[in-house]
Structure 1
Amino acid sequence: MFSKFLNLDKEKQDRIINAAIKEFAEKGYDRASTNEIVKEAGISKGLLFHYFQNKKQLFLFLFDYCYELVTDEFYKKINLKETDFFRRMRHAIMIKADMLGTYPDIFKFIQEVFLEESAEIKIEFDRKKSELTHINMERAYEGIDFSKFRDDVDLTKIIKIINWTFEKMSDEAIQKAKLSPTHEINYQAIQAEAEEYFEVLIKCFYK
């Protein structure tokens, strides 16, 4: 679908991608202007729509591009040989915090996608986000030593409780960001809160 764009030289691709990330991250989907994107990228509007049929298609491409970039980077850094569930989860949070410093604009854009309420894209992106969360949960738990968990509690229920705990934490952080004028998520506060939950969950569910 995006072969014309992907055949461009890398420098031109980057200009368009960076301009679009900046505009969508700052203004959200509905308020983002393709006029501002082409101005920032130094191309004509006709050329932008030669590569992407409309703003929605550009937004879809951009989300997939950014999500794939950070996911690939994450799995290059995470130690999947670490079999302890909570040590791996702690490591994952540290990696994400480091990546936030490396790719602030991309994380800001992805964050805005998760906050997005535009009727034009909400249903499609809610489904996409749910699918990606499920896929990454399975991948993140690969090779975990589940024998460390208590034998007298159903393991499936334990994992569900842990997932629900951190999904709820994430939902609360997103809701707070939606109410904030800057839409900023306090990642340091999330990291500190996650650590508190780790301590409780270890006491509850490890032998």
Structure 2
Amino acid sequence: MFSKFLNLDQEKQDRIINAAIKEFAQKGYDNASTNEIVKEAGISKGLLFHYFGNKKQMFLFLFDYCCELIAEQFYQRIDLTEKDFFTRIRQAILIKMELLTTYPELFKFIEEAYLEDSSEVRVEIEKKVKELSNINFGKIYEGIDFSKFRDDMDIKKILKIITWTFEKLSEEELLKAKLSPTHQIDYEKIILEAEEYFEILMKTFYK
């Protein structure tokens, strides 16, 4: 669908992507202006729609693009040979913080997409988020030494409880961000709170 855009030289692709990410991240889907995007990118509006079809398809393309770039960088950094479950999860959180510093605009766009209320894209984004969560949780669990967990409990249920705990923690922080004027997420606070849950969950589920 986006072959015309992907055939452009990298510099032009980057200009369009950066302009669109900036506009959507600052204003949200409904209020974002394609006029501002083409002005910032230095192209015509006709060309923008030639590449993406419409505003909705451009937004969904950008969401996939940002998530794929962050995932690629994440998996280049994480040590999947680390077999301890909680050590690996701690590592994942620290890498996310590092990437947040490196790609602040991309994370801002992804966060705004997660918080997006527009009926035009909400269902598609929720579907994509669910698919990404399932894929990433599957990868994060690969190669874990499950022998460290208690033998008197179902390991699948343990992992579900741990997953639900951190999903709920994320949901609460996203809701707080959604209700705040700036939509800012306090990642340092999340790390500290996650560490408290790590201690409780390790004492509960490890031998």
- TM-score in terms of structure 1 length: 0.99
Q: 1: distance between equivalents of 2:194 and 2:141?
A: 17
1:88 aligned partner: 88
- Alignment partner of 1:14 is 2:17: no
Alpha-carbon RMSD across the aligned residues, in angstroms, is: 0.5
1:12-161 to 2 correspondence within 5 Å? 12-161=12-161
Unaligned 5+ segments in structure 1 are none
Q: Which amino acid aligns with 1:149?
A: F
Deviations 1:82-108 (A, max 9, x none): 000000000000000000000000000
- Runs ≥4 residues deviating over 4 A: none
Q: 1: distance between equivalents of 2:49 and 2:149?
A: 54
Deviations 1:149-206 (A, max 9, x none): 0001111111010000000000000000011000000000001100010000000000
Q: Which amino acid aligns with 2:51?
A: Y
SS at structure 1 position matched to 2:81: coil
Q: 1: distance between equivalents of 2:90 and 2:128?
A: 26
1:2 aligned partner: 2
Task: Give the deviation of 1:123 after TM superposition.
Answer: 1.0
Q: 2: distance between equivalents of 1:31 and 1:138?
A: 36
Q: What is the count of residue pairs matched by the alignment?
A: 207
Q: 1: distance between equivalents of 2:126 and 2:64?
A: 14
Q: 2: distance between equivalents of 1:104 and 1:20?
A: 15
Q: Identity across aligned pairs (percent)?
A: 70
2:190 aligned partner: 190
Deviations 1:62-119 (A, max 9, x none): 1111100000000000000000000000000000000000000000000111111110
Unaligned 5+ segments in structure 2 are none
